[in-house]
């Protein structure tokens, strides 16, 4: 721990004082001219190239959700610099909102696939994989569904059709699906009231969701995904018991992932590696899917150097935990620039949670990820 702290600080300082590598070809053919301007960086400078082979470094793709209430246009389609960096730096993409029910299935008889299609196409062109997010959740469901007064039989058919349609549409093009998101509360109790599916259909619907997703895309790895499971605790215990039970019944569950929305208000969750490892031992893949590290911003909104170092240390520790677990091969940050981060909108007084500032300049956390990946690649 002390060693890690020192290493992060030393490497980050070194990286900040070294001249940036000369630019080379962009990985995004859609982004126009090939790195003509000084914002581009060489391939050795890219997180995706620094990573060990078979290890995916991902980001959320901004759009939908809270972005719709901000005073900027859709980031993914409108912000060229943003797109270009996304293509260059990352080897995995997660639609931040564009595959959620309220976005992709806005009316009972209408799907809106335009943005999800665009993201999956972009990923193909840039040789990136995609994490689908998400199919069974208590949040961001459309009003027609939540307020529809459907019978249990109708709801079951609605869920089955949705999963078959959405998963089927992208079959073969999605590496991992977050089939079930946030089904347990902090005490490890199923969200029986909040989650419409569990409330109306009972907990057995969870197994069905995995079965239907597997039928629609036998190649996709099917995950449970949640926050607050970055330690061995009541919530991760509940997942452990559930997964064991489902595996015994031969339900096609392939993975367990930790969102890892962290804050410097709390210590780094020291049990992260152990928590991932016990699912690894069950034979599951594991992943970090939504890492960000928020902090209380001082007056004026600029984080101090000490805050940025602490943040870098958390990013590095989360990455190291995943790298240390055999089948943890997917590490995704929930956006790479503060410009589009959900944090200031959802956590009052907190911000600066990502690895780049609004203008895409890099924070110590970026360099901490880069050096940790490079180090892992050597071994
Ligand atoms: C967040 C998005 O970042 C916001 O744009 C949206 O308004 C709300 O949802 N856990 C999840 C993610 O699984 O889908 C959430 O994303 C963050 C918490």
- Assess contact for 312 and 363: CB atoms under 8 A: yes
CB of residue 289 inside a 6 A radius of ligand 1: no
The percentage of residues in the chain with a pLDDT greater than 70, rounded to a whole number, is 88
Instruction: Kindly indicate the confidence band of residue 42, based on its pLDDT and cuts at 50, 70 and 90.
Output: low
pLDDT for position 379:
87
Instruction: Kindly indicate the confidence band of residue 324, based on its pLDDT and cuts at 50, 70 and 90.
Output: very high
Residue 32 forms part of a structural domain: no
Q: How many angstroms does the Cα of residue 354 sit away from the middle of ligand 1? A: 14
Atom 16 of ligand 1 has which residue's CA nearest to it? 96
DSSP single-letter state for residue 338: G
Q: What is the pTM of this model?
A: 0.90
d(CA 42, CA 273): 32
Residue of 96, 102, 182, 285 marked active site? 182
Average pLDDT for the chain: 91
- pLDDT > 50? residue 3: no
HSE-CB at 308 with a 13 A cutoff on CA atoms is 19
- pLDDT > 60? residue 357: yes
Instruction: Kindly indicate the confidence band of residue 222, based on its pLDDT and cuts at 50, 70 and 90.
Output: very high
Residue 320 forms part of a structural domain: yes
Which residue has 């126009």 as its token pair? 32
pLDDT for position 37:
43
Residue 28 forms part of a structural domain: no
Q: 188-192 contacts: CB < 8 A, separation 24 or more? A: 188/233, 188/234, 188/235, 188/237, 188/238, 189/238, 190/238, 191/138
Residue 194 forms part of a structural domain: yes
The helix or strand, by DSSP H or E, that contains position 132, with its residue range, turns out to be strand 129-136
In 233-298, where do the E strands start and end? 255-258, 261-263, 285-296
96 catalytically annotated = no
d(CA 225, CA 379): 29
DSSP single-letter state for residue 281: H
Which residue has 């581009």 as its token pair? 40
pLDDT in tens, 97-125: 999 999 999 999 999 999 999 999 999 99
d(CA 210, CA 222): 7
Atom 13 of ligand 1 has which residue's CA nearest to it? 181
CB-based contacts of 46, cutoff 8 Å, min separation 6 = 27, 88, 89
- Residue 341's alpha-carbon distances to 94, 203, 354, in angstroms, are 14, 33, 7
User: What's the CATH code of the domain at 257?
Assistant: 3.20.20.80
Which residue has 């990455």 as its token pair? 319
Structural domains counted in the chain: 1
The helix or strand, by DSSP H or E, that contains position 94, with its residue range, turns out to be strand 92-95
More confident residue, 253 or 26: 253
Q: Which two tokens stand for residue 243?
A: 């997964």
CB of residue 97 inside a 6 A radius of ligand 1: yes
Residue 24 forms part of a structural domain: no
First to last CA, the chain: 20
Q: Which two tokens stand for residue 24?
A: 């080379």
- Assess contact for 377 and 50: CB atoms under 8 A: yes
> What average pLDDT score do residues 210-221 get?
99
CB of residue 223 inside a 6 A radius of ligand 1: no
Residue 50 forms part of a structural domain: yes
- pLDDT > 90? residue 13: no
> What average pLDDT score do residues 336-350 get?
98
Residue 26 forms part of a structural domain: no
More confident residue, 185 or 39: 185
Q: Which two tokens stand for residue 215?
A: 């039928």
pLDDT in tens, 233-260: 999 999 999 999 999 999 999 999 999 9
Residue 99 forms part of a structural domain: yes
Could you give the 3-state DSSP secondary structure of residue 170?
coil
pLDDT for position 41:
54
Q: For residue 118, give its domain range.
A: 38-378
Q: Which two tokens stand for residue 101?
A: 């029910």
């Amino acid at each position: 721990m002390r060693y890690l702290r020192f290493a992060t600080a030393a490497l980050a300082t070194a990286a900040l004082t070294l001249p940036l590598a000369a630019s080379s070809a962009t990985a995004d053919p859609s982004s126009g001219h090939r790195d003509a301007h000084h914002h581009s960086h060489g391939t050795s400078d890219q997180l995706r190239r620094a990573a060990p082979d078979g290890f995916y470094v991902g980001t959320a793709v901004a759009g939908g959700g809270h972005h719709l209430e901000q005073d900027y246009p859709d980031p993914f389609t409108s912000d060229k610099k943003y797109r270009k960096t996304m293509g260059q730096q990352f080897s995995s993409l997660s639609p931040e909102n564009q595959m959620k029910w309220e976005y992709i299935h806005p009316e009972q008889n209408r799907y809106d696939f335009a943005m999800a299609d665009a993201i999956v196409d972009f990923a193909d062109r840039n040789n990136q994989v995609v994490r689908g997010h998400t199919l069974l959740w208590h949040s961001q469901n459309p009003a027609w569904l939540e307020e529809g007064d459907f019978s249990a039989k109708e709801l079951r058919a609605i869920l089955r059709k949705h999963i078959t349609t959405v998963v089927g549409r992208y079959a073969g093009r999605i590496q991992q699906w977050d089939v079930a998101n946030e089904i347990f509360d902090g005490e490890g109790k199923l969200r029986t009231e909040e989650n419409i599916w569990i409330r109306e259909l009972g907990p057995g619907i969870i197994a069905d969701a995995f079965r239907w997703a597997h039928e629609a895309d036998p190649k996709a790895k099917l995950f449970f995904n949640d926050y607050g499971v970055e330690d061995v605790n009541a919530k991760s215990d509940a997942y452990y018991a559930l997964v064991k039970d489902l595996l015994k019944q031969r339900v096609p569950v392939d993975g367990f992932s930790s969102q890892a929305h962290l804050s410097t208000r709390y210590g780094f969750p020291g049990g992260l590696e152990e928590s991932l490892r016990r699912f690894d031992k069950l034979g599951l893949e594991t992943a970090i899917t939504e890492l960000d590290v928020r902090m209380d911003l001082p007056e004026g909104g600029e984080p101090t150097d000490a805050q940025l170092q602490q943040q870098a240390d958390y990013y590095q520790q989360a990455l190291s935990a995943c790298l240390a677990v055999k089948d943890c091969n997917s590490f995704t940050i929930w956006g790479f620039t503060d410009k589009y981060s959900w944090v200031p909108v959802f956590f009052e007084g907190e911000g600066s949670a990502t690895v780049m500032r609004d203008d895409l300049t890099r924070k110590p956390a970026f360099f901490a990820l880069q050096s940790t990946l490079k180090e892992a690649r050597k071994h």
